[in-house]
Amino acid sequence: MTATPIGSGVESAVRAQEGEDGPRPQPTWEKVLRRTGRAIIVAFWVMVVAFMLIRLSPGDPVSAALGADAAPDTVAAARKALGLDVDPLTQFWNYLTGLFRGDLGASLISGVPVTEMLRTNMPVTLWLIFTSVTMTLVISLPLAMFIAMARIPGLPYLFRTLTAIGLALPSFLVALILLYQFGLIWQVAPIFGYDPTFPANLQYLWLPSLVNCVVLVPVLSRVLYSSILDTLEEEFVETGVVRGVRWNRFYWLYVLRPSLAPTVVLLSYMMGVMVGSTVILEIIFALPGIGRELVTAVTMRDYPVVQGIILVFGILVVFLSLIGDIVASLLDPRVRLT
């Protein structure tokens, strides 16, 4: 074959027909920056809502700490000491300025700085989320792909049934059953406790992560399964077959990658939900995570702790979904960052 264009006469005609080159690829970083800016604004509003909610709900920390029959001047003194004697707007201002100094305040009950609590307890929760997501991915990706491509009669039906059961099980029940089975009967997992150093902590995290998988795997693998089925219907898969692409490249570039975007977005959303739902697992498995601290703080009306944790959770959720969107658009250029 030669390098010269065949029948060069049509060249000019073609030029006249198509004129444009189509939209030029826009710099991605610009979109990422815009999207990040919006995420920051959302995180701020999350904080405002957290501040308001805890103050609008009934009960206050002073009566919780001193009891209902405390003398009025003792209560007033306590309020002054905690900075609750000024109006809510000033309280918010004080809180906000503290925030920029890296000061989230201290617990009204124990006096421990909130940043200190976050530093010790947050990693546990993050590790739990991380291991859960990793396990979920390791199980879901091959599972969904196998079921979509194996063409074994009856298998998709079995898959739908089992995933429906998994979805319907409440996670606290699954946690108790697994804890009983693995921890007591087989004794292959510790029943409670935690070790904050890296390889050792996995020993304590794998069972709670497995519990998360029971809920996460069905959701994720189902979404991925149906996206893969959609992708397989597309003509470019056929083109790939005819092109003779090697199987490993074929599965990744022609099947999995074009199907991943919805799954990635869903996963980032579910990670956000998990930030809240790990509380149950932290309690059942006695893990010193931040979720447990939050529950305690809410019952004690420990304003700074609740505010601090909710703020961090909010930022986490917002940025997880940001990362999800960015990853999705990197995997599949058809996904637009908006």
Partner 1 sequence: MSVNAMASESSDVLVEIRDLVIGIQRTRKDRLLIVESANFDIRRAEILGLVGESGSGKTMVCRSLIGTLKRRSASIFAGTIKFDGMDLAKLEERQWRSVRGSRIGYVPQSALTGANPVMTVGKQLGEAIRRNRKRKEKDVRRRVMELLELVHIRRPEVVYDQYPHQLSGGMRQRVMIAAAITQDPDIVVADEPTTGLDVTVQAEIMKLLKEIRSELKMSVILVSHDLALIDEVCDRLVVMHAGTCVEVGSVSAVARTPLHPYTIALNRSRIDISTPGAPLITIKGNPPAVGEWPAGCRFSDRCDFVQQDCTVGRNPVLVEVRPNHWSACLHAERLGGTSE
Task: State yes or no: residue 6 binds partner 1 (CB under 8 A).
Answer: yes
Size of the site for partner 1 (CB under 8 A): 42
- Measuring CA to CA, which residue among 307, 274, 285 is closest to residue 117? 307
Q: Which of residues 316-335 bind partner 1 (CB under 8 A)?
A: 331-334
Q: Which stretch binds partner 1 (CB under 8 A): 132-140, 237-245, 277-285, 317-325?
A: 237-245
Q: Which stretch binds partner 1 (CB under 8 A): 75-83, 199-207, 235-243, 272-280?
A: 235-243
Task: State yes or no: residue 30 binds partner 1 (CB under 8 A).
Answer: no
* 3-state SS, one letter per residue, for 256-322: HHHHHHHHHHHHHHHHHHHHHHHHHHHHHCCCCCHHHHHHHHHHCCCHHHHHHHHHHHHHHHHHHHH
Q: Which of 28, 120, 243, 276 is close enough to bind partner 1 by CB under 8 A?
A: 243
Q: Which of 72, 168, 246, 248 is close enough to bind partner 1 by CB under 8 A?
A: 246
- Torsion angle of the four alpha carbons 190, 194, 199, 202, in this order, in degrees rounded to the nearest 10: 50
Q: Which stretch binds partner 1 (CB under 8 A): 50-58, 80-88, 90-98, 229-237?
A: 229-237
Shortest distance in whole angstroms from residue 160 CB to partner 1: 20
Q: Which of 166, 208, 218, 258 is close enough to bind partner 1 by CB under 8 A?
A: 258
Q: Which of 37, 236, 276, 299 is close enough to bind partner 1 by CB under 8 A?
A: 236
Please report the sign of the dihedral spanned by the C-alpha atoms of residue 307, residue 309, residue 311, residue 314. negative
Task: State yes or no: residue 338 binds partner 1 (CB under 8 A).
Answer: no
Q: Which of 126, 139, 169, 237 is close enough to bind partner 1 by CB under 8 A?
A: 237
Task: State yes or no: residue 240 binds partner 1 (CB under 8 A).
Answer: yes
Give dist(CA 245, CA 249) in Å, integer: 7
Cα R_g (the chain), whole angstroms: 27
Q: Which of 14, 81, 152, 165 is close enough to bind partner 1 by CB under 8 A?
A: 14
User: x/- binding map, residues 130-159, to partner 1, per CB under 8 A?
Assistant: ---------------------x--------
Q: Which of 22, 72, 111, 154 is close enough to bind partner 1 by CB under 8 A?
A: 22
Task: State yes or no: residue 27 binds partner 1 (CB under 8 A).
Answer: no
Which residues, other chains included, contact 29 with Cβ-Cβ below 8 Å and sequence gap of 6+?
Answer: none
Which residues, other chains included, contact 107 with Cβ-Cβ below 8 Å and sequence gap of 6+?
Answer: 113, 114, 117, 297, 302, 304, 305
Tokens of 116: 């200190």
- Measuring CA to CA, which residue among 46, 56, 42 is closest to residue 303? 56
Query: 209: how many CB neighbours lie within 10 A of its CB?
Result: 21
Of the pair 6, 185, the CB lying nearest partner 1 is at 6
Give dist(CA 311, CA 265) in Å, integer: 22
Q: Which of 56, 242, 248, 338 is close enough to bind partner 1 by CB under 8 A?
A: 242
Tokens of 264: 């990635």
Of the pair 189, 255, the CB lying nearest partner 1 is at 255
Q: Which of residues 50-69 bind partner 1 (CB under 8 A)?
A: none
Q: Which stretch binds partner 1 (CB under 8 A): 17-25, 43-51, 70-78, 283-291?
A: 17-25
Q: What distance lies between CA 154 and its chain's CA centroid? A: 33
Residue position matching structure tokens 């599972």: 143
Residues forming the site for partner 1 (CB under 8 A): 1, 3, 5-7, 10-11, 13-15, 17-18, 20-25, 151, 232, 234-246, 249, 253-254, 257-258, 331-334
